[in-house]
């Protein structure tokens, strides 16, 4: 099944599409002769579901070790279920056709034949035992994390994910030593970046309600429960962007809580790591971005951290600056807000809900071949590619763009703290400045 | 608790046609219904006890079970409740002998012992509360008060049932078979006692 | 107590209108005259007749079915296209929460209760259930609980946490409206209804069977209902505990699910699913019972392997307790638990498979007549099998971690619940309609009803398999074109199909109501006494049955008693040759002629409805004002006192003597 993933989708999916539309419109009880058409459509659906091409969260296109283990287990089960279904329906069809009332005499009033009954207990029992044994094996295999090479902390909150890369005892992060800077913990959100061919273990929890981390092409889902630590293994050999979505209902914007896992070749990962650790550079004085920095400090920095940002406004003394440290716990119920240090190094924002890239540029990155993916991803968001419309809408009124609390009157229950980003009443000028400033954050 | 409120009703609602004499099993409808109800109650207390067992260790350092329990006192009140089971047995046996006077006396004694137990529980709760253990103080306290509170409500309902029964025997208004009605109340009472023995053992005696 | 005094020399009459009966008021107790009216609204409001209560259960359940259906249509409208704007996120979350809650607790369960109430006493040859007043209490409690739950819509918003209401998302901080309070209290109230109903029906089946009806001669529907009542008996208290904890959490500041206080949110999940998984069988087994009644009748054969179907029903009832954690494969239980629950879940597929095979084997060698109830029954076999097989795919725990909380699960359980339970209930409606109302439902219209429903349900839920495997999670109020994929599996296409299907399905259900209207128009024929050539006891009486069900308590010698009274096997050895020896009319006339002379039936009562009314009042009190609790409790105590004081054996002189010639219409059904 896996082998089909590289088919050229545009040619044959297109042709099947037309075929199926036709078949679906033919589901009409008065025209029984179309039934073969339906059967063909179902057949096509089964065949296609094994090798579909272009659904970012398709559960049948494993691209990681654990997803592959799951897939190797599940397709025979689906197949078996399908065969059993066909047999049962076949038996039923024969029964219905053969024994309909044609005036035959009253049948024998028998309550059954023990042999047949025991046989029909034995057959499903054997089939299920055959399924159960490998199932237990795979459950155990998936739980095995002894060979972990890299641990990353994952924290869910309404409605985004935070990733926290710790510095190991040997001074590396995920086995990679920073080239220039000294290793320091990296905090990002939305897009999880991992090196290819590395057995990564996510150590996950939640700051508010239960969320579930799910990258279908890399592994099954795992609930991240507040007060508990759960583990999830991710690994892939193929560089690329793997989409996922929170799958445990987590309140108002559950539908908007998305995430991606980015797999990079080791040297690309090294590049990403170095970039994350680069010291902060202020925008050139007098530019729009510089105005944006000061707007950011007054409007955004209470909740959003930009590492290395200093507040030197109102003083000429270069030594008299204060490091700007956010304190989201005072304003946000979960107590956290995304770190924006390298916002434009990612290509989605607001819990990976919206794209930072325009559709064209997005396609370039998302659909890139594994060989060129790393470069394109690391290029980040350029001015030409910025999806300014949605970023602007977001800054203008974020709760209108992504529902975060149904009724502002109800915030007393949380001591006035919002869930997610509140409406900030920014002026259009401020928004211009902020966009210019943020565009340099990469 | 609303489902216990239904219990006395089960005691009254028999079809006389389908009473003990005509049922398919020989058991009376009322008794069977009471057994079913108690079976259901087992799961109710099972759920509450599980909750308590999960949370009993979750409290601040100086307000855990070891600090607040007064084992001798609770043992005494447990003994009182146990004795009430004995008097209940006496009431049932008097009822079977059709000895109304003694039935009433023993039912009354049972109710009084039950009331003494509830009074002890109220006293115990007040003491704990004074020591700072409120309902919302910790997970331990919430689950403790919920569990023992539910049990206390069951005892209280039992006391109301017993006193009503005494009144009804007095006015000769007991519907159906009097001895069986007393027996039904007895079943409920013994059940509540047994649950307490379980609670006392698990909550008070086994160290957290 | 009323007495139905039957002069023994009355000639046998079959028509229910002419049944000679005298219902008399018993006024000797209390201030109130007992409400003994046999017609008019009071005869419904205060009735304790299991048949009237059964019909009321059905009517109310159908009303909630419509409400839940409208909620479903709104959901599908919202998801028909990308970035739907029909509902806000908040409204959508309320909508899917209430859709599930309504369909499970206020439609499928009470609809099964409707059939259980109406049919179980008739199937076992009893004149009523063991505790008729508790039965009435159960119905009113269910109705008031359901109404209470739905008043949340106009009182600040309904519950928005999903029907599973996982903690801590159900806490006040995350769900600040009163919706979750209404939900918790409303389910608490309907839970009381289910629990009392369970005790009542268990006692009825165990104790009130007709002479000769051993447990292995009990009709299969009654058997399945009994298994369900045992499940309810033990499952309801578990959810009761969970709901109490939630109520204490939300209304009295307890911290059972507050993580900051050290609580474990998984406690709720375990409690919920220990209830929730048996609940699945509570939903589906009554329909299995109906199908197992309908298939033999229209195959003219007994149920294949009746003992095995009984045992597999009971086995499902037992094993159903050991598989709750398969709803939690992604919750982080640890591999050992996951493996154990995974295998246990596979084990439960065996008894379920037994049922399907037994149904097919019942038809095998039969003489099949595809009436509407039979069509629905065969529909159950097909649709439920699909749901069962998709169930097997996620009993495989690793596979389930890909599928759980996606639309694949939504597809699965709709094939089980709609394809299994709802189609089964419709089969029952068509099958027993003539029994309950004395009129046949129109067969031609029924066929349209059936085919539209089947096409609609497959169009709606079939595409959800694809959506789920393409990674569309449940409970999301919008989907975006950006991540929809393209080509055959474009989720936009399949979402649209599902939405169109939902409206086809709605049209199909609508036809059912049209059918009721068409079939009850003036001038439609009365139904024959035995329209289907049925096999079980409920047909050995008039349609609709008289208030006292049977003129004479039938004596049972066979599982399919009615069949064996109608037919005789004159063949020898292996050769069978069945001859009809009696018609239903003759059999019923004979019963009538030999009818019992004294039939005691309990009188209607005010107290059940009053006691039920106290519950929502107290529940409003928990949310709004403590004095309402006090008021409600006072009403409850008063009702219980009245109930307790109401005699169940009145002295003989309390009855009016049977007035010759005073004929009251006993049954006012239909």
- What single-letter DSSP state applies at residue C604? P
- Best mutation target among C179, C388, C402 (most A Cβ atoms within 10 Å) is C402
Do A48 and A155 lie in a common domain? no
Q: What value of ipTM does the predicted structure carry?
A: 0.89
pLDDT in the model for residue C543: 92
Quote the CA–CA distance of A62 and A60 in Å, as a whole number: 6
Mean pLDDT for the stretch of residues A36-55: 55
Do A229 and A165 lie in a common domain? yes
Write out the two tokens for C334. 């640890």
DSSP C561-581: HHHHHHEEE---TT---EEE-
pLDDT in the model for residue C339: 95
**Range of weakest confidence among A50-64, C407-421, C521-535:** A50-64
User: Higher model confidence: residue B133 or residue C22?
Assistant: B133
Q: For A259, which residue in chain C has the nearest alpha carbon?
A: C483
pLDDT in the model for residue A295: 95
- What single-letter DSSP state applies at residue A210? -
> Above 50 in pLDDT, residue C22?
no
pLDDT in the model for residue A41: 57
CB C196 within 8 A of CB C137: yes
Q: Is residue A108 part of a domain?
A: no
Q: For C237, which residue in chain B has the nearest alpha carbon?
A: B44
Mean pLDDT for the stretch of residues A309-320: 71
pLDDT in the model for residue A185: 94
Residues 75-104 in A contacting C (C-alpha not used; CB under 8 Å): 77-78, 81-82, 84-85, 88-89, 91-92, 95-96, 99-101, 104
Q: Is residue A418 part of a domain?
A: yes
pLDDT in the model for residue C415: 97
Q: Is residue C187 part of a domain?
A: yes
Quote the CA–CA distance of C240 and C271 in Å, as a whole number: 9
How far CA C441 is from CA of C449, C453, C528, in Å, comes to 11, 16, 12
Q: For B24, which residue in chain C has the nearest alpha carbon?
A: C207
pLDDT band at C270, cuts 50/70/90?
very high
Do A292 and A427 lie in a common domain? yes
Give the other-Cβ count within 10 Å of A313's Cβ.
11
A379: domain CATH number is 1.10.760
Give the other-Cβ count within 10 Å of A152's Cβ.
21
pLDDT band at A408, cuts 50/70/90?
confident
What mean pLDDT value characterizes chain A? 87
H helical segments located in C252-305? 266-299
Which of B4, B29, B3, B24 minimizes the C-alpha distance to B177? B29
User: Higher model confidence: residue A154 or residue C16?
Assistant: A154
Q: Is residue A353 part of a domain?
A: yes
Q: How many CB pairs under 8 A join B and C?
A: 161
Structural domain range at position C136: 49-534
Do A312 and A228 lie in a common domain? no
> Above 50 in pLDDT, residue C498?
yes
User: Higher model confidence: residue B196 or residue A109?
Assistant: B196
Quote the CA–CA distance of C176 and C543 in Å, as a whole number: 52
> Above 60 in pLDDT, residue A31?
no
> Above 60 in pLDDT, residue C432?
yes
> Above 90 in pLDDT, residue C627?
yes
pTM listed for this prediction:
0.90
**Range of weakest confidence among A109-118, A158-167, C235-244, C445-454:** A109-118
Number of domains in chain A: 3
Q: A408 at the C interface (CB within 8 A)?
A: no
Q: C648 at the B interface (CB within 8 A)?
A: yes
pLDDT in the model for residue A414: 83
Write out the two tokens for C6. 């039957």
Q: Is residue C548 part of a domain?
A: no
User: Higher model confidence: residue C24 or residue A218?
Assistant: A218
Q: Is residue C553 part of a domain?
A: no
Mean pLDDT for the stretch of residues A121-129: 93
Do A208 and A252 lie in a common domain? yes
pLDDT band at A38, cuts 50/70/90?
low
Please report the domains of chain B, with CATH numbers, ordered by start residue: 2-205 (1.20.120.80)
Which of C567, C556, C564, C524 minimizes the C-alpha distance to C434? C524
Q: Could you give the angle at the alpha carbon of A258 between the alpha carbons of A253 and A262, nearest 5°?
A: 165
Mean pLDDT for the stretch of residues B51-79: 91
What mean pLDDT value characterizes chain C? 89
Nearest to A226 among C265, C332, C395 (CB): C265
pLDDT in the model for residue C6: 39
> Above 70 in pLDDT, residue A132?
yes
Question: Which chains share 3+ C-beta pairs under 8 angstroms with C?
Answer: A, B
Mean pLDDT for the stretch of residues C58-64: 98
Quote the CA–CA distance of C326 and C280 in Å, as a whole number: 13
Do A304 and A403 lie in a common domain? yes
pLDDT in the model for residue A228: 94
Number of domains in chain C: 1
pLDDT in the model for residue B125: 95
C496: domain CATH number is 1.20.210.10
How far CA C378 is from CA of A93, A117, C287, C374, in Å, comes to 10, 20, 12, 6
CB A77 within 8 A of CB C399: yes
Q: Is residue C82 part of a domain?
A: yes
**pLDDT per residue as tens digits for the range C312-330:** 889 888 888 999 999 999 9
Do A252 and A394 lie in a common domain? no
Q: For residue C240, what is the enclosing H or E element?
A: helix C220-251
Structural domain range at position A12: 1-54
pLDDT band at A319, cuts 50/70/90?
low
Do A294 and A419 lie in a common domain? yes
**Range of weakest confidence among A17-26, A288-297, A419-428, B117-126:** A17-26
**pLDDT per residue as tens digits for the range C380-395:** 999 999 999 999 998 9
pLDDT in the model for residue B6: 27
Q: Is residue C178 part of a domain?
A: yes
Mean pLDDT for the stretch of residues C240-259: 94
Quote the CA–CA distance of C224 and C212 in Å, as a whole number: 20
pLDDT in the model for residue B207: 75
> Above 90 in pLDDT, residue C373?
yes
How far CA A329 is from CA of A299, A303, A326, C543, in Å, comes to 16, 8, 9, 69
Nearest to B136 among C254, C615, C645 (CB): C254
Do A263 and A306 lie in a common domain? no
- 8 Å CB contact of C367 and A107: yes
pLDDT in the model for residue C191: 97
C235 neighbourhood in chain B, CB within 8 Å: 43
Quote the CA–CA distance of A256 and A355 in Å, as a whole number: 12
CB C80 within 8 A of CB C481: no
Q: Is residue C665 part of a domain?
A: no
> Above 60 in pLDDT, residue B80?
yes
> Above 90 in pLDDT, residue B41?
yes
Write out the two tokens for C597. 């002379």
Write out the two tokens for A418. 């919002």
Write out the two tokens for C472. 């569309």
Mean pLDDT for the stretch of residues A344-351: 94
């Amino acid at each position: 099944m896996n082998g089909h993933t590289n088919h050229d989708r545009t040619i044959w999916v297109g042709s099947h599409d037309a075929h199926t539309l036709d078949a679906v419109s033919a589901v009409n009880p008065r025209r029984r002769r179309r039934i073969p058409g339906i059967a063909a459509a179902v057949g096509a659906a089964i065949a296609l579901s094994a090798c579909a091409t272009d659904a970012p969260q398709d559960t049948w296109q494993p691209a990681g070790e654990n997803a592959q283990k799951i897939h190797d287990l599940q397709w025979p089960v689906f197949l078996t279920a399908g065969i059993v279904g066909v047999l049962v329906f076949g038996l039923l069809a024969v029964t219905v056709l053969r024994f309909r009332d044609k005036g035959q005499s009253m049948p024998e009033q028998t309550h059954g034949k023990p042999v047949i009954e025991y046989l029909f207990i034995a057959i499903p029992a054997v089939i299920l035992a055959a399924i159960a044994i490998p199932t237990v094996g795979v459950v155990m295999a998936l739980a095995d994390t002894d060979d972990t090479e890299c641990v990353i902390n994952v924290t869910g909150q309404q409605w985004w994910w935070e990733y926290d890369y710790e510095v190991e005892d040997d001074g590396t992060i995920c086995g990679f030593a920073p080239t220039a800077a000294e290793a320091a913990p990296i905090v990002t959100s939305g897009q999880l970046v991992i090196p290819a061919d590395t057995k990564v273990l996510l150590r996950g929890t939640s700051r508010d309600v239960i969320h579930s981390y799910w990258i279908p092409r890399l592994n099954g889902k795992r609930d991240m429960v507040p007060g508990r630590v759960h583990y999830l293994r991710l690994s892939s050999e193929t560089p690329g962007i793997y989409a996922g979505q929170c799958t445990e209902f987590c309140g108002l914007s559950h539908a908007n809580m998305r995430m991606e896992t980015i797999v990079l070749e080791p040297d690309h990962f090294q590049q990403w790591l170095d970039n994350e650790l680069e010291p902060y550079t202020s925008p050139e004085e007098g530019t729009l971005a510089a105005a944006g920095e000061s707007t950011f400090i007054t409007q955004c920095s209470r909740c959003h951290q930009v590492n290395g940002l200093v507040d030197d406004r109102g003083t000429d003394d270069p030594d008299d600056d204060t490091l700007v440290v956010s304190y989201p716990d005072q304003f946000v119920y979960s107590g956290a807000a995304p770190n924006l240090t390298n916002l434009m190094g990612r290509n989605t924002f607001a819990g990976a809900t919206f794209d930072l890239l325009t559709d064209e540029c997005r396609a370039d990155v998302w659909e890139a071949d594994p060989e060129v993916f790393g470069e394109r991803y690391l290029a980040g968001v350029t001015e030409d590619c910025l999806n300014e419309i949605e970023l602007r809408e977001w800054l203008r009124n974020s709760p209108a763009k992504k529902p975060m609390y149904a009724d502002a009157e109800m915030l007393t229950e949380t001591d006035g703290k919002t869930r997610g980003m509140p409406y900030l009443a920014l002026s259009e000028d401020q928004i211009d400045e902020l966009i210019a400033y943020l565009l340099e954050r990469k | 608790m609303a489902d216990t409120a239904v219990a006395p009703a089960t005691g009254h609602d028999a079809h006389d046609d389908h009473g003990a004499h005509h049922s398919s099993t020989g058991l009376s409808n009322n008794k069977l219904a009471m057994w079913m109800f108690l079976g259901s109650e087992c799961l109710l207390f099972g759920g509450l006890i599980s909750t308590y067992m999960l949370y009993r260790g979750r409290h601040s350092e100086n307000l855990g079970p070891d600090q607040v329990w007064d084992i001798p006192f609770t043992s005494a009140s447990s003994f009182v409740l146990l004795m009430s089971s004995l008097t209940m047995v006496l009431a049932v046996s008097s009822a079977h002998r059709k000895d109304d006077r003694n039935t009433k006396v023993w039912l009354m004694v049972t109710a009084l012992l039950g009331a003494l137990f509830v009074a002890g529980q109220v006293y115990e709760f007040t003491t704990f509360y004074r020591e700072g253990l409120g309902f919302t103080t910790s997970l331990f306290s919430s689950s403790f008060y919920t569990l023992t509170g539910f049990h206390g409500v069951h005892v209280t309902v039992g006391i109301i049932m017993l006193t009503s029964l005494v009144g009804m025997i007095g006015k000769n208004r007991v519907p159906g078979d009097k001895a069986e009605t007393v027996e039904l109340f007895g079943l409920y009472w013994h059940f509540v006692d047994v649950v307490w023995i379980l609670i006392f053992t698990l909550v008070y005696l086994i160290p957290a | 107590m009323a007495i139905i005094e039957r002069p023994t020399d009355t000639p046998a009459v079959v028509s229910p209108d002419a049944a000679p009966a005298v219902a008399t008021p018993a006024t000797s107790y209390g201030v109130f005259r007992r409400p003994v009216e046999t017609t008019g609204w009071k005869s419904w409001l205060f009735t304790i007749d299991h048949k009237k209560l059964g019909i009321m259960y059905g009517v109310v359940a159908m009303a909630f079915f419509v409400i839940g259906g409208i909620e479903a249509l709104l959901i599908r409208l919202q998801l028909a296209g990308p970035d739907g704007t029909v509902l806000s996120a908040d409204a959508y979350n309320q909508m899917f929460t209430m859709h599930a809650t309504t369909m499970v607790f206020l439609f499928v369960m009470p609809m099964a209760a409707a059939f259980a109430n109406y049919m179980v006493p008739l199937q076992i040859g009893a004149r009523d259930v063991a505790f008729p007043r508790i039965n009435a209490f159960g119905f009113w409690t269910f109705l008031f609980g359901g109404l209470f739950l739905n008043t949340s819509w106009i009182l600040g918003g309904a519950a928005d946490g999903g029907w599973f209401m996982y903690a801590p998302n159900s806490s006040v901080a995350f769900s600040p409206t009163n919706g979750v309070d209404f939900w918790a209290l409303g389910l608490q109230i309907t839970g009381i209804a289910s629990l009392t109903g369970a005790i009542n029906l268990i006692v009825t089946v165990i104790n009130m069977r007709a002479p000769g009806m051993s447990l292995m001669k009990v009709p299969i529907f009654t058997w399945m209902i009994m298994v369900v009542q045992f499940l309810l008996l033990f499952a309801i208290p578990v959810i009761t505990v969970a709901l109490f904890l939630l109520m204490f959490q939300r209304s009295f500041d307890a911290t059972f699910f507050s993580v900051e206080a050290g609580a474990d949110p998984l406690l709720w999940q375990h409690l919920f699913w220990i209830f929730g998984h048996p609940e699945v069988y509570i939903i589906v087994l009554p329909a299995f019972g109906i199908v197992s009644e309908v298939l033999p009748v229209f195959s003219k054969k007994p149920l294949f392997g009746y003992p095995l179907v009984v045992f597999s029903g009971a086995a499902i009832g037992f094993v159903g307790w050991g598989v709750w954690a398969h709803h939690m494969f992604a919750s982080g239980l640890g591999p050992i638990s996951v493996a154990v629950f995974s295998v246990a879940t596979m084990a439960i597929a065996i008894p379920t498979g037994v049922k399907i095979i037994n149904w097919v084997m019942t038809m095998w060698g039969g003489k099949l007549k595809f009436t509407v109830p039979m069509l629905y029954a065969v529909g159950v076999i097909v649709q439920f099998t699909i749901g069962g097989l998709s169930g097997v795919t996620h009993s495989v725990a690793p596979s389930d971690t890909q599928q759980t909380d996606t639309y694949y699960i939504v597809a699965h359980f709709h094939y089980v619940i709609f394809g299994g339970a709802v189609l089964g209930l419709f089969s029952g409606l068509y099958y027993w309609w003539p029994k309950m109302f004395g009129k046949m439902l129109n067969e031609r219209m029924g066929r349209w009803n059936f085919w539209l429903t089947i096409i609609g349900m497959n169009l709606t839920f079939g595409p959800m398999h694809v959506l789920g495997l393409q990674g569309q999670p449940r409970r999301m109020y919008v989907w975006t074109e950006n991540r929809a994929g393209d080509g055959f599996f474009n989720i936009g296409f399949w979402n649209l199909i599902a939405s169109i299907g939902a409206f086809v399905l709605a049209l199909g259900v609508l036809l059912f109501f049209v059918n009721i209207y068409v079939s009850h128009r003036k001038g439609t024929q009365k139904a024959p006494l035995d329209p289907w050539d049925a096999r079980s006891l409920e047909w050995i009486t008039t349609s609709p049955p008289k208030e006292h069900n049977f003129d004479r308590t039938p004596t049972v010698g066979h599982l399919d008693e009615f069949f064996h009274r109608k037919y005789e096997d004159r063949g020898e050895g292996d050769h069978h040759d069945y001859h009809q020896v009696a018609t239903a009319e003759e059999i019923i006339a004979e019963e009538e002629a030999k009818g019992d002379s004294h039939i005691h039936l309990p009188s209607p009562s005010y107290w059940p409805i009053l006691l039920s009314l106290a519950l929502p009042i107290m529940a409003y009190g928990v949310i709004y004002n403590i004095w309402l609790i006090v008021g409600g409790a006072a009403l409850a105590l008063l009702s219980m006192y009245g109930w307790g004081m109401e005699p169940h054996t009145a002295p003989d002189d309390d009855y009016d003597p049977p007035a010759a010639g005073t004929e009251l219409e006993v049954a006012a059904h239909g």
